[in-house]
A = this chain, B = another copy of it.
Amino acid sequence: MDLRHLKYFIAVAEELNIGRAALRLHISQPPLTRQIQQLEEELGVQLLVRTPRGVELTQAGEMFLEEARNIRSLVEQAIERTKRAGQGKLGRLDIGIFGTGILSAIPQMLHLFRDTHPDVRVVVHTMTKDEQIEALRQRRIALGFNRILSPLPDIENELIIKEPLFLVVNANHPLSRQESVSFMELAKHPLVLFPTGARPNFVDRVMELCANMGFTPEISQIVGDVVTGVALVAGGFGITLVPRSATTLNLPGVVYRPFFDSLSATIDLSCIYRKDDQSAILQAFLGVIRAFREQHGGQ
C-alpha cells in the first residue's frame, strides 16, 4: 500500500464519484478505478459499493476513510516537523554552563534564542570546564559557556564578549568613596579570589593582569565561587574583582567600582562546541551568540 492509495481513496470517498475524484486529482478516471480496485484487493475488503449514480462507502470504507485521513495528517505533520528540525527550529539543545554563569550574559542569550526558537527545548547543565569538554566529546551537550580556555584540536572556542572587571569593596572601605578607582589599588589590599577548581581560571587571569601592571597581589583567600567571594567582602574580608555582569549580584554592604586606568582589565566569556558539529540547532544558537556579540561590540 502506498500514500497515493490513501490520497486517491480519500478523494473518491469525498466525491462519492470516481470520475469527479479523478478530475480533482488531475488524473483520468480509469487509473483511479484501477488504484481503488488494487487497494480493495490488497486489503481483501470491499470499500465501495458501485451504484448507478456513483459509489457509496461500505462500513469498512468508512473505517478506512477515517484512518486514511488520520495517517495523511500525521504524514503532513511529520514533514513539517522534520523540516523545522532541519532548520534548527524544533528539537533540543543541551548547554553546559559554569557555576555562576547564570549571572553573566548567558541568560540574555538564552532568552533571545527562546524568543526566536520557541520549539527548541533548551536544557542547561551546570558543569565545570573539564566536564563540559568531556560532555561535548560524548555529545551529551552541544555547547558550553566558559571563561578561560586552552585551545583543543576538536573543540572550537569562540569569544563572545570581553567583560570589564569591577572592584568589589565593603561599603565602609575608603575606596568606596571614589566613583572609580585605579587598578594599582589592588597592590595595596588583600584580595579574595575564586574559584577553586581546574586551572587556569579567573585567579590566573587576575594574576596575569597584575603582573602586566608590574606587581604581585596579596591573596588572602581563594573561595569556591563568586557569590562566596562577594559575601566575604560584605563581611569585611578584603576586596575582590568580578566581571561586570556579576555586579547584578546585589549583596548589602558591598559596592562595585569600575577602574579608570585599565582598559585591559577584562575577562573573556566564550563558548565552546565541537568543530565537527553541523547541527542546525547549534548553528542557530551560534547565530544568536554572534548577533549578541555584534550588539555588544566585544564588551
Contact = CB atoms under 8 A, between A and B. Distances in A.
B82 A43 contact: yes
Interface in A42-85: 43-47, 49, 58-60, 62-64, 67-68, 70-71, 74-75, 77-79, 81-83, 85
Each complex incorporates copies of this chain amounting to 2
A85 B59 CA distance: 7
B71 A78 contact: yes
Contact of A67 (B63, B68, B82, B279): B82
Interface string A75-114: 1011101110110001110000000000000000000000
A90 B2 CA distance: 23
B45 A63 contact: no
Contacts of A91: 59-60, 63
Interface string A169-213: 000000000000000000000000000000000000000000000
A62 to B, nearest CB: 8
Contacts of A280: 58-60
B1 A2 contact: no
Given A3-B3, A58-B279, A90-B63, A75 B82 contact: no
Interface string A20-53: 0000000000000000000000011111010000
Contact of A83 (B43, B59, B68, B278): B43
Nearest to A86: B45
Given A58-B279, A279-B59, A43 B77 contact: no
Contact of A86 (B1, B3, B46, B71): B46
A254 interface: no
A64 B78 contact: yes
Given A2-B2, A63-B85, 13 more contacts: A1-B3, A43-B79, A45-B82, A47-B82, A59-B280, A60-B83, A60-B85, A60-B86, A60-B91, A60-B280, A64-B85, A70-B74, A71-B71
15 contacts: A1-B75, A2-B3, A45-B83, A49-B278, A58-B279, A59-B279, A60-B82, A63-B82, A63-B90, A63-B91, A64-B82, A67-B78, A67-B82, A70-B78, A71-B71
